[in-house]
Amino acid sequence: MTNETLENEWEVGTFACTSCGGDLKYRPGTISLTCEHCGAENEIPQIDTDFEELDFHEYLANKSKSEDTFKENFVKCHNCGATSTLDPHVTSFNCPYCSTALVIEELHEELLIKPKALLPFHLDKEAAKSRFKKWVEKLWFAPNDLKKASLNFDHFKGIYIPYWTYDTDTYTKYTGQRGIHYYVTETYTTSENGKSVTKTRQVQKTRWYPAFGDVSKFFDDVLVTATTSLPEKYIYKLEPWDLENLVPFEKSYLSGFVTEKYQIDLEAGFDIAKNIMDPKIRTLIRRDIGGDVQRIISTKTRYNDITFKHLLLPVYVSAYRYKNKLYQFLVNGRTGEVQGQRPYSWIKITLVILVVIAIIAAIVFFNRTSE
């Protein structure tokens, strides 16, 4: 099979109903595509296969010749930089991340690493809207405009977010210090009942000893988001993902949803993975040093047998502008977990403060008049 054949095979477009020829869309929570015209369900072929990890260094050295790539049409948002797919029949579209109108004429083709697997959407749009509404209703001091906006889902989109996962066997050499606590008796003077009294107390001190050694740890499926279009602190709070339910990449699952191109490339993603792995490595080092307390002076980590997968994970995204500032809300398309930024209504906060002050003033007034 040639690269050209593979690229065409993975091109994402619309799918025709086997009954009437109408457009098919993936129905979340199922393994079927549903016809928008006749309602017929077309089952998605299920592939029973293991997910092959790609060799990190080998891919970087030969990526121009790799068959693990495909071509897709994308349009880039000039405001936030996100690059997303478009349905072939769409003539106008707003960026799912910031609601900026996209220039359809700038649709262009790009060569990408082919996803190995994905998690299909489990929640449909209505279920995700319901989770989002409940989340908004619980927000304290939220502007009324926000609650009204939560009922307007013009820019509420289901998006497959790009991720990398990395496996690697790490070997780390370190130098540090082992601290052992000991106690000394200290005499001090204090005042009791107006008299000076001499007492003793035990004071903890630490004796430090040099330490050095090495630790090893295998990391499996270190998950790194490959988008910069969403707030990092919120996208990672959507975890955990049920990666045990990954299915082999099949373009049918993308029908009816937006797919974002990765903005963080393979090499940059592994640098982020190193930062994720580092705290766990340092915990192992502290355990290896032993003692009561530890100091880590230097580390040098070797990453062996690095492999990776490119994944797509389902997220519903809603963008809302309040006083010229963008707020983004995310719903995990599998679990319904909601995360996001929120504005505050300073009018509501001021009113609450004034009410509290009025209540306190009333209490003081009645106490004085009752005396």
One-letter amino acid at 316 equals Y
The answer as to whether 355 is a domain residue is no
Give the integer Cα–Cα distance in Å for 343 and 141: 8
Distance CA 80, CA 325 (A): 13
* Max CA pair span of the chain: 100
At CB < 8 A and 24+ separation, what contacts does 43-46 make? 44/250, 44/252, 44/253, 45/250, 45/252, 46/247
- Assigned token pair, 56: 């990190």
What's the pLDDT score for residue 213?
Answer: 97
Cβ–Cβ under 8 Å, residues 160 and 26: no
In a domain, 181, yes or no: no
**Distance from C-alpha of 248 to C-alpha of 120, rounded to nearest angstrom:** 10
Domain around 98: 3-174+211-350
Distance of alpha carbon 238 from alpha carbon 307, whole angstroms: 24
Q: 125-179 pLDDT, tens per residue?
A: 889 888 887 877 776 656 666 655 554 556 678 899 999 999 999 999 999 999 9
Instruction: State how far the Cα of 30 lies from the Cα of 293, in Å rounded to an integer.
Output: 53
How far apart, in whole angstroms, are the C-alpha atoms of residue 25 and residue 23?
7
187 in any annotated domain = no
- On whether the CB atoms of residues 84 and 95 are closer than 8 A, the answer is yes
Give domain status of residue 364, yes or no.
no
| Count of domains forming the chain | 1
Please check whether residue 149 lies inside any domain of the structure. yes
For residue 204, is it within any domain? no
CA angle 175, 180, 183 (to 5 degrees): 155
Look at residue 111 in the predicted model and tell me its pLDDT: 74
**Residue 346 is which amino acid?**
W
The verdict on residue 180 lying in a domain is: no
Query: Is there a contact between 95 and 77 (Cβ–Cβ < 8 Å)?
Result: yes
Q: What is the pLDDT of residue 94?
A: 74
Structure tokens at 52: 């092959």
Q: Which of 290, 235, 289, 229 is nearest to 263 (CA)?
A: 229
Helix %, strand %, coil % for the chain, to 5? 25, 40, 30
d(CA 312, CA 215): 33
Kindly report the pTM of this predicted structure. Answer: 0.77
Q: State residue 261's pLDDT score.
A: 86
And the tokens for 321?
């502008």
Residue 202 counted as domain residue: no
Residue 66: its pLDDT value, please? Answer: 62
Beta bridge partners of 35: 24
**Looking at the chain, which runs of residues are DSSP E strands?**
15-16, 23-26, 32-35, 41-43, 54-55, 69-76, 83-84, 108-113, 117-118, 156-192, 195-225, 247-248, 258-259, 293-322, 325-332, 338-340
pLDDT at site 298: 97
d(CA 23, CA 230): 30
pLDDT in tens, the chain (371 residues): 333 333 333 344 556 666 676 677 788 888 777 776 777 777 777 766 667 788 999 988 887 666 677 677 778 887 777 777 766 555 556 777 777 777 766 777 777 788 889 999 999 888 988 888 787 777 665 666 665 555 455 667 889 999 999 999 999 999 999 999 999 999 989 888 888 889 899 999 999 999 999 999 999 999 999 998 888 888 989 999 999 899 988 888 888 888 888 989 999 999 999 999 999 999 999 999 999 999 999 999 999 999 999 999 999 988 776 667 777 889 999 999 988 776 555 555 565 566 667 777 667 667 667 65
Q: Which residue has the tokens 């766990």?
A: 280
